[in-house]
Chain A
Amino acid sequence: MLELQILIDGFAISALYALGAVGFTLMFGVSGVLNLAHGATMVVAAVTAWVVAGQYAVNPWMAAVAGTGAGVVTAFATYFLIVRPIQRSRSVPAAEKEIFVLTGTLLWGIMIQEAVAYFYTDNPKTVRPLLAGVMQIGGVRTPINELLIAVICWSVIGLLWLLVNRSKAGKVLLAASINPRALTLLGFELSRVYLMVWLIYGVLAGVAGVLLATFLGASSAQASQLTASAFSIVVLGGLGSVSGSLLAAYIVGYLETMTAYLISPTYRTIPALVLLVLVIYVRPRGLLGRR
C-alpha cells in the first residue's frame, strides 16, 4: 500500500519536475543561456492563474491558459530586457557574456520575485484543480488532479519531442544546439531560432508553474528554490541533455518522495542533493551529458 502510494505520488511530482527542467535544459542546449529567473517565471504563471481565477471568476482551464500566457510574456521580457542586451553589448567581453547573463537573469529573477511579493504577498497561491475529486487506485486515495498533472506533463513533453524531431522548425533548433555557426552559414537567422526557443521555454515554464499551483501551491518565496531544483536536475542529467533531464527528474522525484514517506518530509531534499554532489565528483558531465 505504502509502496503504491510512493509510486503514484513520486510519478506525479517527477513529471512536474521533468516539465520544469526540460525548458531550462532546452534553453541551455540551444542558446547557451542558463536562465536563473526560471523559478520566478513559474511563479508569475502560477500567481497570474490565481489572480485571473479569483478576480474574474473564470474556470480553472481559462485561468491555466492565462497563467501559461504570463509565462510566455515573462520569458520574452527576460530575453528582450536582460539576455539580448547583454549578448549584443560591445562593452561586455565575449568570454564574460555567459557569466553576465547568469548574473543578469539572477537579479531579474529577484526583481520579479520581490514585485510579486509586493503586490500579492509571499503567501502561497493555489489554483482550483483542473479536475476535482479523488479516485481509488489499488486502495490508495489519489486526487484525479494529480493524475491529470502527470498526463499533461507527459503530453507536453511528447509534443516537444515531436516538434524537435519531426518538424523542420525543430530540426533547426537541434542544429542550433549542435553548430550555430553552420546554421547561420546555411542562411538561417539565429535570432529567430532564439525567439522560438524562448517561446517554447515560456510555454513549458508557464504550464509547469500553473500545474504546480493546482498541486502543491506556489509562492514568490519559492522562486529561488524552484530555480535551484531545476538547476540540480539539469546538472544531474547533463547540461543541455533533454533525455538526461527527464531521467534526473524521475531520480530526484522518487528519491524525495521515498525520503518523505520512509524517513520524514523534513529531510525530503537531502538525499537528492547528496547524489548531486556525488555525480559532480564522479561524473561531472552529468548522467547523460555530452560535454
Chain B
Amino acid sequence: MPDRSTVVRQFRTALMASAGLTYLLTGPAGAQGKEPIKIGIISEESAITGAGISKGAQLAVDAINAAGGVDGRKFEIVQYDDHSSAADAVRAFQRAVSQDKVVAVIGVYISEIALALEPWAARSHTPFITTGAASNEISKHVHDDYDKNKYTFHEYLASGFIADSVCDAIKENLLPQYSIKTAVVFSEDAAWSTPLDTEYMACLPKIGVKVLDHLRFSADTGDFTPLYNKIEAQKPDVIVTGISHVGVQPTVQWAQQQVPIPMIGYSGQATSGTFWNDTNGAAAGVVTYSLAAEGAELTPKTRPFVFDYIKRFAGAPVVTAFTTHDALNVLADAIRRAGSTDADKLVTALEKTDYMGTVGRVQFYGRDSEFTHAMKYGRDYVPGIMLQWQNGKQVMLWPKAGSQIKSSFPPFTHLQRK
C-alpha cells in the first residue's frame, strides 16, 4: 500500500497533467477565453434554397474560426427554422435577440418574411442581412425611413436589377443568335415578383421584344396546362419567367407537354445544382438568371467555395449558399473595422463594405440611392450570370460564355435562328 506522500505526489502530477491537457485542448487563453460572437441564421431547412443558407453560413463560419476568428473571438451560429412562415421567423428573430443575444441575424429567402423581419430589426436595433429575398421594397423601406430601418441590409440582388439583368442577357447573348420579337411574361404571384414584372414590362420593349401578355399565377398552382395553353395561343417567341416558389412542376410539365416555346428568365429552383435530378432532366434547355453557379468563375473565390461546399455537403451549392457565405464574411469584416459588435457602429461599418466575395465585389448603395443598403448591381460589382441547363450541367451563357459554349434548346421548341 503506497504511503500518504506518494498519493499526494501522484495526485499533484495528475492535476498538472490535466491542467496541461486542458490548456492544449482549448489553446491560448487570449484567443479562446473571449465570448464567442453569436450570429442568428434563419432559414427553412426543408427547402433547397433555405438549406443552402445554413450550409453556406456553416462553411463561412468554419473558415473564419479556423483563421482565428474575429479579433480573437470565434463566430458561433445559432440556427432557427422558420418553416417558411413569417410568424415563425418573427418568433425566431425575437428569441435570437432577447434570449440568445445574437449580434446580427442573417438569412431568409422569401421576401414576405424579410419584410416581416425588417421592423423587428428596427425595433431591436439588430443588424439583419437577408441573403435570398429579392423584393425592391426591402431597401426602399430603408431609404424611406433611414433612421428607423437602417439595420436592414439586402445582400441579394433586388428584383428590379434581376429583371434588368435578364433583359441585358437576352439582348447580348440571345438576340444576336435568335429571332426573338415577342414574349409572354409568366410569373408567380409573390412580393418579390411584383417589381420584377414591372421592370420586365419596361425593359423588354427597350431591347425590341414586344410583351404580348403578362400572366401571374398563384404559387400553389399544380397543373400548369391551362396557363401554357393560354400562352401558346398567343404564339410568343419566348416565355420570360419570374418563378421561385414553384419551379420543378412548371418545368416538368413544360417538357412533358412539349410546349414549343423556350423558357428564359429567372427560375429560382433552377439555380440549384440539384434541379436536373429534381426534374429528371426536364430542365434541359431552361435558361435562368442566377448570382453564381457551380461552373462560373466570377471571382477567385467562387471555385474554391464550390469545391469546399461539394466536398463537405456532397452536392453543388444553391445561390443562397454563395450569398450567405459572403454575408458572414462581410459581417466579420465589418466587426473587425468597427472594432466592436455595437449595432450602430456595425451599421456604419457595413455601409462602408468593400468585399470581394464569391458572387462579385460586394458594396451596398448609400442613403442617396432609392435602393439604400441593397447590394450594388453591375459589371464592377455583382453582375449576376445567365445560365442554361445542358446535359445535367449548368452552363454559363452570359456575361462571359466560354468559346465552346452555345445555347441549345430542346427539339420540341421552335425558336428561329437568325
Contacts and interface: CB of A to CB of B under 8 A. Distances in A.
A117 B46 contact: yes
B258 A141 contact: yes
A134 B257 contact: yes
B320 to A, nearest CB: 13
A261 B224 CA distance: 10
A9 B280 contact: no
Contact of A129 (B46, B226, B256): B256
A286 B245 CA distance: 36
Nearest to B256: A143
Band of interface residues on A:
20 to 34
Interface in A30-54: 53-54
Interface string B208-232: 0000000001100111111101000
Given A54-B280, A145-B256, A265-B218, A9 B46 contact: no
A126 B257 contact: no
Contacts of B51: 121
B230 to A, nearest CB: 9
Contacts of A179: none
A117 B48 CA distance: 10
Interface stretch (B7-15, B162-170, B247-255, B346-354): B247-255
Contacts of B413: none
B388 to A, nearest CB: 20
B229 A126 contact: no
B48 A127 contact: no
B299 interface: no
Interface string B273-290: 000011111100000000
B294 to A, nearest CB: 18
Contacts of A118: 45-46
Most buried by A among B224, B225, B249: B225
Contacts of A220: 46
A123 interface: yes
B269 interface: yes
B16 interface: no
Contacts, number: 82
B48 A123 contact: yes
A124 B249 contact: yes
Nearest to B220: A225
A101 B163 CA distance: 51
A203 to B, nearest CB: 24
A212 B5 CA distance: 80
Given A129-B256, A141-B258, A265-B221, A121 B280 contact: no
Contacts of A143: 256-258
A216 B227 contact: no
Contacts of A217: 222, 248-249, 252
Contact of A126 (B45, B224, B226, B248): B248
A215 to B, nearest CB: 8
Given A5-B229, A121-B46, A123-B269, A134 B258 contact: yes
Interface string A52-79: 0110000000000000000000000000
B47 interface: yes
Nearest to A144: B256
A283 to B, nearest CB: 29
Nearest to B219: A266
Interface in B373-399: none
Contacts of A223: none
Interface string B8-48: 00000000000000000000000000000000000001111
B248 A265 contact: no
B227 A121 contact: no
A54 B280 CA distance: 8
Contacts of B47: 121-123
A220 B225 CA distance: 22
Contacts of A2: 229
Given A261-B229, A265-B223, A125 B258 contact: no
Closest 4 A-B residue pairs measured CB to CB? A117-B46, A266-B218, A260-B226, A126-B252
10 contacts: A9-B225, A114-B46, A124-B249, A124-B278, A125-B278, A141-B257, A216-B249, A217-B248, A260-B225, A261-B226
Interface of B: 45-48, 51, 189, 217-218, 221-227, 229, 247-249, 252-253, 256-258, 269, 277-282
Given A9-B225, A122-B47, 8 more contacts: A54-B280, A121-B51, A122-B46, A123-B248, A134-B256, A143-B256, A220-B46, A265-B224
